[in-house]
Amino acid sequence: MAAESIAYRNRWIRLAAPWLVPIGLILFWQIFAVSGLIPHRILPSPVEVMQAGFHLTVTGEMPAHLWESSQRAVIGLLIGGTIGFVFALLNGLFGPAHLVFDSSLQMLRNIPHLAMIPLVILWFGIGEPAKMFLIVIGVFFPIYINTVHGIRSTDPKLIEMGRIYGLTPWELLFTVVLPSALPSILVGLRYALGIMWLTLIVAETVACDNGIGYMTMNAREFLQTDVVLVGILLYALLGKLADTVTQALERWLLRWNPAYR
Amino acid sequence: MSNNTLLEARLVSRTDKAVAVRTHALSKEFSGRLVLHSLDFRVDPGELVAVVGKSGCGKSTLLRLICGLEKPSSGWVEVDGERLNGLSRHARLMFQDAALLPWKSVKANVALAAPRKSLRDRVAEDALQHVGLRDRAQEWPSILSGGQRQRVALARALASDANLLLFDEPLGALDALTRLEMQALIERLWLERRFSAILVTHDVEEAAALADRILLMEGGRVTFQTTVSLERPRDRASAEFTALKEAILERILGRHA
């Protein structure tokens, strides 16, 4: 009985524990803001930020920006991820392709993709293609590198087993190689999502006329610190949401693996 | 009961499908090092031959050549009267590691070996029944013990209609008790199905318990062979068994001279 109640309490403690720090911080923040220790223009109180967020939602301004940003993020991720995945298949499966392409790609990887911004603006101006291009390059590398790594670290014994049992090359790819690479591919996806948001923020802040980045930069000009904070918190939420979704995906796709149960 | 006889009938009909293996002056070289020296070797249909020897004597290489995973440097392998070119369609190799796909259920692992796709599920269930793991069909391989995994690998080989089973120390990583159980299982399946089999092992007792014929390999050559005519199942405590074991061990350890 006692052991049961401890286990029960443990479950609640485990659910609550990750929230302690954020909630504590917000409480502190509220107390400081209300007491007037921090000037309003530097840091409005959490309640004010929430009000600003509510207001922006009701007017439809924030949902519109959110929609624009998400669209950019998802399309960029799909394009960059697909290119990365196809290159990874090519270079992971065929030795000669790896020999020809990999060292060049590794060289390009060492250029921080945000350093390309001036060049990208020269090429594409400040329109949609520029932002898309940056996101595509940003997500390409984590997907590419992790997929290649996953494919190349497939257990050779399993491939031999598949060949002995007469699997065709397609069957080998889909029943042996790709499932074996999947944990690595998903790690790549999580990295890519992080980079996707980062790139989006920077791209929208540099030059844009919609999106969350634009919303915050615009608010800065009007000294609306609360709106800036809404934007920042929104990024945090979106990032966390993307990560939670991938983690759930990981747990489901890798349920055969004791490490993910 | 009727289900059982049906199964028996199906299994018995396989008997005549066991294949013969011959190697002709088979040599294999890895970067200048000769691993097999012009080996002439034969397995008759339905025969269980054990190959014993110290590690590095070339016994694993021999199996890899016979199933076609490696190409000979010279000489050739003949399976069922045909000269081997590429992978053998008769041979199934079992490694020390069961080589199960961890992302597929036990049953799906066995089913992938079944030659006719339409019968996959039934064949897999039959095969699992034979190794005593029918009730674990839906589990992930990761939760099975080492012995159970090897049973699944064995079921997979059975499901594939194998006519020639090549065992590359399949029991090497198991504890002594599980190993005895697995040896009994292999013997029972072999008696039922009479596939041809080559068992590579460094356990002399295992060879003496299971094989019709025992070959000793040293430095890429067969240096000794003996036919075992003891009755099955073999009594490991009998004087003949012990004498056989001692004789082989003495050959291996080089005390025969």
Size of interface A-B (CB pairs under 8 A): 51
Q: Who's near B76: CB < 8 A, 6+ residues apart? A: B23, B24, B26, B83, B84
Q: Does B145 touch chain A (CB under 8 A)?
A: no
| pLDDT per position as a tens digit, A72-111 | 999 999 999 999 999 999 999 998 999 999 899 989 888 8
Whether residues B140 and A164 touch (CB distance < 8 A) is answered with no
- Of A178-182, B41-45, B109-113, B219-223, the one with minimum mean pLDDT is B219-223
How does pLDDT run across B197-218, given as a tens digit for each residue?
Answer: 999 998 999 999 999 999 999 8
Supply the Cα-derived Rg of chain B in whole angstroms.
18
ipTM for this model = 0.84
**Domains, chain B, ranges and CATH?**
14-33+48-90+172-178+195-257 (3.40.50.300)
A173 lies within 8 A of chain B by CB: no
Q: Which of residues 64-83 of B touch A (CB under 8 A)?
A: 67, 69
Q: How far, in Å, CA of B53 to CA of B81, rounded?
A: 28
Q: Cα(A226)–Cα(A219) distance, rounded to whole angstroms?
A: 8
CA distance, residue B92 to nearest chain A CA (Å): 6
Answer yes or no: do A157 and B97 touch at CB < 8 A.
Answer: yes
Which tens digit of pLDDT belongs to each residue from B97-133? 899 999 999 999 999 988 877 888 889 999 999 899 9
| Neighboring chain A residues of B113 at a CB cutoff of 8 Å | 165
Contact criterion met (CB < 8 Å) for A257 and B103: yes
Chain A residues with CB-CB distance to B101 below 8 A: 158, 175-176, 179
* Residue ranges of domains in chain A, CATH in brackets: 50-260 (1.10.3720.10)
Q: Is B95 on the interface with A (CB under 8 A)?
A: yes
Counting residues of chain A whose pLDDT is more than 90, the rounded percentage is: 51
Handedness of CA A229, A212, A116, A127 (dihedral sign): negative
- Distance, in Å, from the CA atom of A81 to the CA atom of A192, rounded to the nearest integer, reads 8
What average pLDDT does the segment B225-235 reach?
A: 88
